[in-house]
Chains A and B, each alone.
Chain A
Amino acid sequence: DTGVSQDPRHKITKRGQNVTFRCDPISEHNRLYWYRQTLGQGPEFLTYFQNEAQLEKSRLLSDRFSAERPKGSFSTLEIQRTEQGDSAMYLCASSLGSSEAGELFFGEGSRLTVL
């Protein structure tokens, strides 16, 4: 499968614990995005990378959240000291900078449940 892959698909954790999600984009895609989707809502933009540079961060991304894309390939999203409000689906997407505007390829998401 050459699509966007995310790991783990599901994560249950206790409040206060740290969690890390990984995203492997489509190999030739230079752009990578993180979105958060809560139940019954549309995805909300968190951050995006072009190659290894993090170009934009949403105000939704508090100090407890950090995202990296160290070699311009895979990316990690870490949430420290998780809170119940962090429970959501975390979606990763990738695109080629030269592709048609807005054509993002999404992964199946990583669902986080904070108890």
Chain B
Amino acid sequence: AQTVTQSQPEMSVQEAETVTLSCTYDTSENNYYLFWYKQPPSRQMILVIRQEAYKQQNATENRFSVNFQKAAKSFSLKISDSQLGDTAMYFCAFMKPGNTGKLIFGQGTTLQVKP
């Protein structure tokens, strides 16, 4: 069975600084998808960034980028130029091929951006 582990329950960063959230996963699959979702306080969860395992190039979306290390089964999220609106809970998630939408989430990391 696949598992996703986020070992940092809480993190904080100063506005405009850079922060990296860690995620490791375990799977015997060779092809899969990895995601970072953001859940702001009392608001719905939204997709931040997606990585397909067969793509070697790390995904980037504006200020958000990932460091995908397939052999190490590591998938970290880097947030550059942190903004107050980045304050949220961040979840790392795994999905097997087939696009069923069945995501396996980590425990989450609460990120506080301080002014």
> Please, which residues of chain B bring their CB within 8 A of the CB of A74?
none
Chain B 96-109 interface mask (CB, 8 Å, partner A; 1/0): 01011111111110
Once the chains are docked, how many angstroms separate the CA of A95 from the CA of B45? Answer: 13
Once the chains are docked, how many angstroms separate the CA of A33 from the CA of B95? Answer: 14
> Please, which residues of chain A bring their CB within 8 A of the CB of B33?
101-102
Closest CB of chain B to A38's CB: distance in Å? 10
> Please, which residues of chain A bring their CB within 8 A of the CB of B45?
43, 91, 93, 106
Closest A residue to B46 by beta carbon equals A106
Once the chains are docked, how many angstroms separate the CA of A31 from the CA of B9? Answer: 31
Once the chains are docked, how many angstroms separate the CA of A55 from the CA of B106? Answer: 24
Chain A 74-96 interface mask (CB, 8 Å, partner B; 1/0): 00000000000000000101010
User: Given A31-B101, A101-B50, do A40 and B43 touch, yes or no (CB 8 Å)?
Assistant: no
> Please, which residues of chain A bring their CB within 8 A of the CB of B108?
40-42
Closest CB of chain A to B75's CB: distance in Å? 13
A65 at the interface (CB under 8 A from B): no
Residues of B in contact with A, size category? 20 to 34
> Please, which residues of chain A bring their CB within 8 A of the CB of B47?
102-104
Residues of A in contact with B, size category? 20 to 34
Chain B 78-115 interface mask (CB, 8 Å, partner A; 1/0): 00000000000001010101011111111110000000
Chain A 45-72 interface mask (CB, 8 Å, partner B; 1/0): 1001000000110000000000000000
> Please, which residues of chain B bring their CB within 8 A of the CB of A104?
47, 101, 103
Once the chains are docked, how many angstroms separate the CA of A97 from the CA of B91? Answer: 23
> Please, which residues of chain B bring their CB within 8 A of the CB of A33?
101-102
Once the chains are docked, how many angstroms separate the CA of A55 from the CA of B100? Answer: 9
Chain B residues with a Cβ under 8 A of chain A: 4, 9, 33, 35, 42-47, 50, 52, 91, 93, 95, 97, 99-108
**10 shortest interchain CB distances as A-B pairs:** A42-B105, A106-B45, A101-B99, A106-B44, A108-B44, A102-B95, A45-B102, A42-B91, A102-B33, A43-B105
Q: A42-B4, A101-B99, A103-B50 are in contact. List 4 more A-B contacts (CB 8 A).
A: A42-B107, A45-B103, A95-B101, A101-B95
